[in-house]
Structure 1
Amino acid sequence: MSTETLSAEAPATDETGEARHMNMIEAINSALDVMLTRDSDVTLLGEDIGYFGGVFRCTAGLQEKHGKTRVFDTPISECGIIGVAVGMGAYGLRPVPEIQFADYIYPGLDQLISEAARLRYRSAAEFIAPMTVRSPFGGGIFGGQTHSQSPESIFTHVCGLKTVIPATPYDAKGLLISCIEDNDPVIFFEPKRIYNGPFDGYYDRPAKNWKGREDAQVPDGYYKIPLGKARTVTEGDAMTILAYGTMVHVAESVCREKGVAAEILDLRTLVPLDIEAIEASVKRTGRCLIVHEATRTSGFGAELSALVTERCFYHLEAPVERVTGFDTPYPHSLEWAYFPGPVRIGEAIDKILSE
């Protein structure tokens, strides 16, 4: 599959009219609203998503508009939320359960791994689990160990699950619609550090808002971004940088400040992975840096590194490098040291270019 770049000259539109500015929260809310309106089988469930509109307000106003049978609150039971969603999907609905923070998803792993991921195969496709599990993930709000984890690699290891992570409002809406319409279970992780604006990685510089950015021009109506297709953020021949979620913006900021002409690929979906775009880019640049916020050992960067080495070994002019979170519990007071920030990313870029 080839990469996709959102044109700066032609703002995205669809059959319902012009695009308008949205942050990522508004784009996710718009996607849910569109799908609730288009498909009577779509149902939202989770803790505080109804009357309250979600802890980050992603579902604000949807219960009032679509009713309590389409958007409803659940008990504080993640295994119950996901287990119910599996049954709803097998029955023929398209549930979109919300797990309030990705750190809370672990009680539901058995339902996700043993039931949702295997249902199509074990029933010879008689039943499916077309469910999209939404959850904020990653750090950036001083949430400490129980509100800041990045567990994406756990789910990429499970056959039958798809894993999607947007980095812009435009992508968030288009990818979420594709996830909801997909017939397989999807984990949709929302990087909460960039809900309200992109983030350059500096502790003493607040995140900017999304205003004025082309990737925050979001159509009001229905549109889809196919799963398994990466996005070219910046073009260049110095090296390839692979990132997703918040780290896309941090890597872009570092390259801009250092004047490095890197080709940054926003993976957007980890499973399915756009390995063709990755391979083409690395073979062209000869160098590769991987950046993610999750811990280093067994992180998704390890899989990316292996794939790049297997497919591009004779084109590499330097070893593949990774900049990641540390192999420690997520720190509260030292959150900004844990983040892969400009200093560590900049050092990795210098090391690769010196080879």
Structure 2
Amino acid sequence: MNTTQSTSTVQKKRLTSDAMSASIAKEGQRTTAAPLGHALVELAQRDERVVGLSADLAKYTDLHILRDAMPDRFYQIGMAEQALLGAAAGLAMEGFVPFASTYSVFATRRAYDFLCLDIAEANLNVNMVCALPGLTTGYGPSHQATEDIAILRGMPNLTIVDPCDAVDIEQAVGQLAAHDGPTYMRILRGKVPRVLDEYDYTFELGRAKLIRDGAEVLLISTGLMTERALEAARALEADKVDVAVLHVPTLKPLDEATVLRELGKDRLVLTCENHTVIGGLFDAVAHAAVRDGIFRQITPIGLPDEFLDAGALPTLNDRYGVSTAKIVERIKTLLHPRHTERTD
């Protein structure tokens, strides 16, 4: 009996620890719990127009912080994303500043028409704050929003933000509320890493920021991939490889002036995104470069154009080439291709 109980305990621990967690924080890393929820409470205390809405996912998008602190400023719409965005549009038309939360896949795949015609066409101040972007859950294609940015980039009036960490999220909330028009922000939930406050960084809506400079390689990154780009840059220092990291938290409108300035320097260039390589950061950067007459190779690091497997996140990140180790490996291959050629 003791053996059976022990085996059962190990199995339960394995299932809860390494299978489908949406947390991206590493053990011992500095984090902030529910940065979106706490930033919204602080904003709502200053601005009585701010309200929150959820499609039955407040606990899983960190909007439960606002719900519990200010229940009269929170609306539980239920499992109906079209109704969620319709209600948010109505509140915005009455002068409120709504933050509507759900999973990224549901907001983009299920409620696109409501976002487009009810909100974007009218240029309403509705802010969609959506969890589980890209490969941040192992639950497979039904929950992995690998193409959400591609779906939304063509929508007029819409601003798209992909934050790196808790610092980005905390600083973005107030700027989204003050922005004239609809926004879509991919959020990281739970215990979210704090990364950018070590680099004298400040989030500015619509602006890309050079986090570190380097003479040999330029990594243009967005979202959680900026943390991995910075880790890769530090790892490559041991091989005397000098890597710059340009963080692009606002994907639309793209800060083309900053991106083109950095592309103009003679370096190996890669883009890093937690999104399919089709229709996201890579496409935006390459489009800007060609339109400006910059003709050079830009190598994308991102998710493949396929439905991803379910499983443990570390395994999937390696499998699809978006882990820190795989970024380092890809850069070394591009810098020294002869070292990776087969000799048999």
**TM-score, normalised by the number of residues in structure 1:** 0.76
Which residue pairs with 1:189 in the alignment? 186
**Cα distance between partner residues in 2 of 1:173 and 1:241:** 24
Which residue pairs with 2:155 in the alignment? 158
Distance 1:303 1:61, change over 3 A: closer
Which of 17, 21, 31 in structure 2 is aligned with 1:23?
Answer: 31
Q: Render the CA deviation track for 1:98-146: whole Å, top value 9, x for unaligned.
A: 01x11112221001112211114xxxxxxxx101001011223322212
Letter in 2 for 1:283: G
Aligned: 1:67 with 2:71: yes
Aligned: 1:177 with 2:198: no
Instruction: Give the match's secondary structure for 2:51.
Output: strand
Structure in which a larger fraction of residues adopt helix: 2
- What are the equivalent positions in structure 2 for 1:97-116 lying under 5 Å apart? 97-99=100-102, 101-105=103-107, 106-116=109-119
Which residue pairs with 2:316 in the alignment? 335
Using the TM superposition, give the Cα deviation of residue 276 of structure 1 relative to its aligned residue in structure 2, in angstroms. Answer: 1.1
- What are the equivalent positions in structure 2 for 1:1-355 lying under 5 Å apart? 23-48=31-56, 53-56=58-61, 58-68=62-72, 70-99=73-102, 101-105=103-107, 106-120=109-123, 129-136=124-131, 137-150=133-146, 151-192=148-189, 195-198=190-193, 210=194, 215=197, 225-259=203-237, 260-311=241-292, 313=294, 316=296, 319-333=297-311, 335-336=316-317, 337-354=319-336
Higher Rg of the two aligned structures: 2
Check the 8 A contact 2:163/2:249 in 1, yes or no: yes
Instruction: Give the match's secondary structure for 2:264.
Output: helix
Instruction: Give the match's secondary structure for 2:187.
Output: strand
Using the TM superposition, give the Cα deviation of residue 312 of structure 1 relative to its aligned residue in structure 2, in angstroms. Answer: 5.7
**Cα distance between partner residues in 2 of 1:352 and 1:63:** 49
Listed as ranges, the gaps of 5+ residues in structure 1 are 1-20, 121-128, 199-209, 219-223
Distance 1:214 1:348, change over 3 A: closer
Using the TM superposition, give the Cα deviation of residue 351 of structure 1 relative to its aligned residue in structure 2, in angstroms. Answer: 4.5
Letter in 1 for 2:263: V
Listed as ranges, the gaps of 5+ residues in structure 2 are 1-28, 338-344
- Shift >4 Å, 4+ stretches: none
Letter in 2 for 1:302: D
Distance 1:329 1:39, change over 3 A: same
Letter in 1 for 2:86: G
Using the TM superposition, give the Cα deviation of residue 34 of structure 1 relative to its aligned residue in structure 2, in angstroms. Answer: 1.6
Using the TM superposition, give the Cα deviation of residue 60 of structure 1 relative to its aligned residue in structure 2, in angstroms. Answer: 3.4
Q: Render the CA deviation track for 1:260-279: whole Å, top value 9, x for unaligned.
A: 32211110100121111111
Using the TM superposition, give the Cα deviation of residue 321 of structure 1 relative to its aligned residue in structure 2, in angstroms. Answer: 0.8
Letter in 1 for 2:164: A
